[in-house]
């Protein structure tokens, strides 16, 4: 029992390490394929300028009816620029997707059928297929590799992007919405 717990801790640490390495690799590939290109730099600058301009206009609203149309045009322009920025990033996302699909196959074969962590809760039924993937038994607090890896990668990659200054600005994210952004709300 103790050696099983030690093995689980070692597996968990290994998965966190794998997650950090793959997040760094994906950000490195993204930098190589996207972030250092002139087109991306130009679009990012345009989005940042447009979002700041739009924020200033929203703060200085005096004539509501005339400025509403102007603000809506600015929001549409920002939305379009964010869409262009997302399309530039899409090429790299496809390359990273293919790379990590191959890596996932390798890691799944290494950790196949091994409990790598013990969850402090029973996941919702529609997450159990992922959290208990390829594990024997009915103890749904047992955690599979894929579930822990996905959770770690989602949180670690976001933090790495912030540390490296590659995350989108808050203003652009809030106002633009990206390619699959929220629809503009009528005021």
CA dist., res. 166 & res. 158, Å (int): 9
Q: Which residues of 89-112 are buried (b: 16+ CB within 10 A; e: fewer)?
A: beebeebbeeebeeeeeebeeebe
Contact assessment for residue 106 and residue 21, using Cβ atoms and an 8 Å cutoff: no
What are the beta bridge partners of residue 142?
118
Q: Please, what are the averages of pLDDT over each run of 10 residues along the chain (187 residues)?
A: 83 94 90 89 90 80 68 86 88 84 88 91 92 91 92 90 76 49 41
Contact assessment for residue 40 and residue 85, using Cβ atoms and an 8 Å cutoff: yes
Q: What is the pLDDT of residue 173?
A: 56
């Amino acid at each position: 029992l103790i050696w099983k717990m030690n093995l689980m801790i070692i597996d968990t640490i290994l998965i966190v390490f794998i997650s950090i390495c793959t997040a760094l690799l994906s950000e490195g590939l993204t930098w190589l394929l996207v972030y250092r290109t002139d087109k991306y730099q130009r679009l990012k600058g345009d989005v940042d300028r447009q979002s700041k301009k739009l924020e200033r206009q929203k703060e200085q609203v005096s004539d509501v009816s005339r400025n509403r149309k102007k603000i809506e045009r600015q929001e549409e322009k920002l939305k379009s620029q964010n869409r262009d920025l997302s399309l530039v990033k899409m090429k790299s996302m496809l390359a990273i997707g293919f790379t990590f699909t191959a890596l996932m196959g390798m890691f799944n074969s290494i950790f196949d059928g091994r409990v790598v962590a013990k969850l402090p809760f029973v996941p919702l039924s529609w997450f159990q297929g992922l959290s208990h993937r390829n594990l024997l038994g009915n103890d749904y607090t047992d955690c599979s590799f894929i579930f822990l890896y996905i959770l770690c990668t989602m949180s670690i990659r976001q933090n790495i992007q912030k540390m490296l200054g590659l995350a989108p600005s808050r203003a652009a994210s809030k106002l633009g919405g990206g390619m699959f952004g929220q629809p503009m709300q009528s005021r």
